[in-house]
């Protein structure tokens, strides 16, 4: 019998497992893949807040630090945003493995290569069914990503918008200079010094340098398809509730993702702490995570209206920003909580 069973050994599931195991809960994490962190479905661009959450983050997980992002309108009009705290480009597989190792050290048990199939109520507990046996628990946590089976089977209602992305790693030298993306003008300024985000399509396309010669390059799969390369699904929205009785959701499973960029690593780490606190101190989880994330998600959803504008209007808004916003104002923007 377990206190908590977590489905999914991604960063949100493993962080929740670590915090619960540290407070002496008997925790089991079930992960369908046999290797933690793989396949990688992430660009790895994460705000410096990750270092506040994990001050002990090993240096070898950080591939690059980026102080400047350049935003390109469909017309090519662009502005740079230099932030005081650099954003990190991380090796996602290594990051996931490190968070996993911390959970293991704290005493969480893992079953890799095991798939969650469903659950059944047994008085106040739950029987968790997998492809390799059943397990009993007081609490079930769905940290099983955007397509969460736990969310579906628990019938937790989720209104979301979905993006499907395609991404590949390119060597700058091998890539044609000129327009990689609609409106992209990498020739202006040094190619590779900044993360370049281009807004000519239905969402945005990105060019994120992971070193002096390599970059991750991607966008919605409708606009770019790279055979055999990484990509994946993102879903965003604001859940009314991420809990139902003794079943909870965290991370992408709970749509705890920045709507404007689909970045979910930091929000998942923040929510994991809220969930662990709620379970350990018998507090209301929704109250805790919403106090931290509901407003930023709402703001992000509002900002997403931008994506529905025609290209001429997007370009006009860029012109207005370029003409009216001072660099000082822009540099104070927070990548996670704009
Ligand atoms: C192309 C792309 C680029 C991205 N770039 C960024 C970025 O630059 N920065 C950023 O912050 N975020 C980015 N994201 C989002 C980020 O990857 C997610 O927000 C993050 O991985 C969510 O973590 P999680 O732990 O909630 O879920 P996940 O990392 O999705 O982990 C869920 C785990 O559950 C397991 N699982 C699922 N179903 C089952 C089951 N039935 N049984 C057992 N195990 C199961 C999965 O195998 C997986 O390991 C990107 C996403 C995509 C698709």
Tens digit of pLDDT for each residue in 188-233? 555 566 888 889 888 998 889 998 888 888 888 888 777 766 789 9
Confidence label for 113 from pLDDT (cuts 50, 70 and 90): very high
- Which of 5, 42, 300 for a ligand 1 pocket mutation test, highest count of atoms within 8 Å of Cβ? 42
Domain residue spans of the chain: 2-331
Task: Name the DSSP letter for residue 15.
Answer: H
What digits encode the pLDDT tens for the residues 117-132?
999 999 999 999 999 9
Contacts of residue 200, Cβ cutoff 8 Å, sequence gap at least 6: 72, 73, 74, 181, 182, 183, 311, 314
Nearest atom, ligand 1, residue 253 CA: 26
Nearest atom, ligand 1, residue 130 CA: 42
Nearest atom, ligand 1, residue 218 CA: 1
Summarize the confidence of residues 160-173 as an average pLDDT.
Answer: 86
pLDDT for the residue 186: 53
Q: Report residues whose beta carbon is within 6 angstroms of any ligand 1 atom.
A: 7-13, 30-33, 41-46, 115-116, 143-145, 149, 165, 167, 218, 231-232, 234, 251-252, 257, 262-265, 268
Element (H, E) at 50: helix 49-53
**Distance from the alpha carbon of residue 252 to the mean position of ligand 1, in angstroms:** 7
- In whole angstroms, what is the distance from residue 296 CA to residue 267 CA? 10
Find where tokens 């962190």 sit: 37
Q: Which of 76-85, 225-234, 269-278 has the highest mean pLDDT?
A: 269-278
Nearest atom, ligand 1, residue 232 CA: 53
Element (H, E) at 105: helix 92-106
Residue closest by Cα to atom 51 of ligand 1: 42
pLDDT for the residue 80: 84
Contacts of residue 283, Cβ cutoff 8 Å, sequence gap at least 6: 277
Contact between 30 and 128 (Cβ < 8 Å): yes
For residue 187, is pLDDT > 70?
A: no
- In whole angstroms, what is the distance from residue 242 CA to residue 205 CA? 30
Predicted structure pTM score: 0.94
Residue closest by Cα to atom 19 of ligand 1: 264
Nearest atom, ligand 1, residue 251 CA: 26
Q: Is 299 exposed, middle or buried (0-12, 13-18, 19+ CB in 10 A)?
A: middle
Residue closest by Cα to atom 39 of ligand 1: 144
2-331: what fold? FAD/NAD(P)-binding domain (3.50.50)
């Amino acid at each position: 019998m377990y206190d908590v069973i977590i489905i999914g050994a991604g960063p949100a599931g493993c962080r929740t497992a670590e915090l619960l195991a540290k407070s002496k809960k008997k925790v089991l994490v079930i992960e369908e893949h046999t290797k933690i962190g793989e396949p990688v479905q992430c660009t790895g661009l994460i705000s410096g807040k990750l270092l506040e959450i994990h001050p002990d983050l090993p240096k070898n997980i950080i591939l690059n630090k980026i102080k400047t992002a350049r935003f390109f309108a469909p017309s090519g009009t662009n502005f740079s945003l230099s932030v005081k705290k650099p954003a990190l480009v991380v090796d996602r597989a290594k990051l996931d493995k490190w968070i996993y190792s911390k959970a293991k050290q704290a005493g969480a048990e893992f079953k890799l290569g095991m798939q969650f199939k469903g659950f059944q109520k047994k008085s106040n507990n739950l029987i968790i069914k997998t492809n390799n046996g059943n397990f009993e628990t007081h609490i079930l946590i769905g940290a099983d990503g955007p397509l969460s089976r736990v969310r579906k089977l628990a019938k937790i209602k989720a209104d979301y918008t979905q993006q499907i992305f395609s991404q590949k790693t390119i060597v700058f030298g091998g890539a044609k200079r000129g327009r990689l993306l609609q409106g992209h003008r990498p020739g202006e300024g040094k190619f590779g010094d900044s993360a370049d985000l281009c807004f000519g399509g239905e969402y945005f396309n990105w060019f994120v340098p992971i070193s002096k010669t390599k970059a991750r390059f991607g966008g919605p799969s409708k606009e770019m398809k790279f055979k055999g390369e990484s990509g994946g699904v993102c879903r965003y929205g604001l859940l009314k509730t991420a809990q139902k009785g003794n079943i909870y959701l965290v991370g992408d499973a709970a749509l705890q993702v920045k709507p404007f960029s689909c970045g979910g690593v930091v929000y998942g780490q923040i929510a994991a702490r809220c969930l662990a606190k709620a379970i350990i101190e018998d507090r209301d989880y929704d109250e805790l995570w919403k106090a931290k994330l509901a407003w930023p998600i709402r703001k992000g959803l509002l900002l997403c209206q931008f994506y529905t504008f025609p290209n001429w209007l997007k370009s006009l808004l860029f012109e207005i920003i370029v003409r009216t916003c001072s660099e000082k104002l822009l540099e104070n923007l927070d990548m996670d909580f704009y």
